[in-house]
Amino acid sequence: MNEIKVEYFAALREHTGLGAEQVRTAARTAAELFAELDARYGFPEMGRLKVAVNDEFGDWDSNLADGDSVVFIPPVAGG
Partner 1 sequence: MSRFRFSREPLRLEECRGELQDPLCGGYASFEGWVRNHNEGREVMRLEYEAYETLGCKEGERIIAEAMEKFGVARASCVHRIGSLELGDLAVWVGASAPHRDEAFAACRYIIDEVKHRVPIWKKEHYVDGDSGWVNCERCAEHADTPPVRRTG
Question: Which residues within the stretch 7-36 sit at the binding site for partner 1 (CB under 8 A)?
Answer: 7, 9-11, 13, 31, 34-35
Q: Is 61 exposed, middle or buried (0-12, 13-18, 19+ CB in 10 A)?
A: exposed
Q: Residue 51 Cβ, how far from partner 1 at the closest point, in Å?
A: 7
Dump strand ranges (E) for 1-79.
2-7, 20-25, 50-53, 56-57, 69-73
| Residue number, 23 or 49, with CB nearest to partner 1 | 49
Give me the residues that bind partner 1 (CB under 8 A), please: 7, 9-11, 13, 31, 34-35, 38-39, 42-43, 46-52, 55-57, 59-60, 71, 73-79
